[in-house]
Amino acid sequence: MRPVNRQKLDGLTTRRWRQRLLSWYDRNRRDLPWRQDRDPYRVWISEIMLQQTRVSAVLEHYRRFLRRFPTVQKLAAAREPAVLAAWSGLGYYRRARMMHAAAKVIVKQHGGRFPGGIVELRSLPGVGRYTAAAISSIAFDAPAAVVDGNVERVLGRVFGPGLAGESFWQTAEALLSHKRPGDFNQAMMELGATVCLPRQPRCSTCPVFGLCATRGHLEQPKKVIHQKQRDICYALDHRNSSVFLVQRPKHSSLMPGMWELPEIPATNRSSPASFTLRHSITVTDYTVRVMRGPAPVLNQGRWVARKNILMLPLTGLTRKILRQAHVI
């Protein structure tokens, strides 16, 4: 069978594509908790969590978040620190703040009913083209194709070099199954996540092998990311079942309002650390030294009882340190 040509995507080819992809998906789809029903609230939460985060890292957070906020009404009524605390560990906290703001809009302007149209969805805080198409197709069967990193990779390999920007979206729209748009979109993303892998695509098991122009022989442009290295040091003052924590400034560009251990200035770093760990945030790799002992005298900050620590929105690094120190 000949590989498909994007300029000549005819009816027979698109039918073949849909049929192969969907029957493969029906047999191979992963059993993920957000696939158990098509509740738009649950679909939305999963889509926001999965942005820039792996499925394996999202699973436990997704369950915990939904236990805490089972409905859009509960989320809208929550205070922001409680939402951030439930989000803690997923990073990119702006997503949680936007979600909280969007929940309020849904309750106030849509009477608590999740809108299904692309235009209304895109007017919600934090909902862009991809997320609106994902929610409307998965939860409402709307014929809207999605393009994320996985779909781009699959289409880029199937059609060969030449696709870019808007043409990814046009091609995904042309291939989309209008009978099962939600399943089709999830199948495209699933194919990229489990078969058409970034480094070594598993072409021998691929349902669209016969339609693919490159079949694993396309060099992916290598992204060169220059990681910065940084040393950082924190005081872990743990007394009488409480820990001393400080809150980041409300207007900080990074993790505003989140709670963390007090940082120790460079001049206090000569004594050996109680323990060391590594942590990465976007393009910076941190070597983190943790000193057990008295916290520096600070104007802000407070003692937090161990049993209440997880109710605060902690930075991911603070959570990691407190886990390693067996405080939480």
Name the residues annotated as catalytic.
Answer: 47
- Burial class from Cβ neighbours inside 10 Å (0-12, 13-18, 19+) for residue 147 reads buried
Q: Is 168 left (phi over 0), alpha (psi -120 to 50) or beta?
A: alpha
Residue (164 or 225) nearer to ligand SF4, CB: 164
Of 196, 235, 236, 314, the one binding ligand SF4 (CB under 6 A) is: 196
Residue (179 or 202) nearer to ligand SF4, CB: 202
- Distances in Å between the alpha carbon of 223 and those of 25, 81, 297? 30, 36, 44
The interface mask with ligand SF4, positions 134-173, x = CB under 6 A, is --------------------x--xx---------------
- Least Å distance, CB 17 to ligand SF4, is 11
**Which SS3 state, helix, strand or coil, does residue 233 take?**
strand
The region of 111-119, 129-137, 196-204, 235-243 touching ligand SF4 under the rule CB under 6 A is 196-204
Helices in 196-311 by DSSP H: which ranges?
Answer: none
Using CA atoms, how far apart are residues 151 and 136, in angstroms rounded to an integer? 17
Residue (197 or 328) nearer to ligand SF4, CB: 197
- Least Å distance, CB 204 to ligand SF4, is 8
- Least Å distance, CB 188 to ligand SF4, is 10
- Least Å distance, CB 165 to ligand SF4, is 20
Structure tokens at 126: 């934090």
- Least Å distance, CB 21 to ligand SF4, is 10
- Distances in Å between the alpha carbon of 229 and those of 67, 92, 317? 38, 20, 16
Residue (141 or 152) nearer to ligand SF4, CB: 152
Using CA atoms, how far apart are residues 96 and 109, in angstroms rounded to an integer? 20
Residue (29 or 129) nearer to ligand SF4, CB: 29
Pairing of strands 228-236, 238-239: unpaired
The interface mask with ligand SF4, positions 203-232, x = CB under 6 A, is x--x-xx--x-xxx----------------
Residues in a beta bridge with 97: none
| Contacting residues toward ligand SF4, per CB under 6 A | 154, 157-158, 195-196, 201-203, 206, 208-209, 212, 214-216
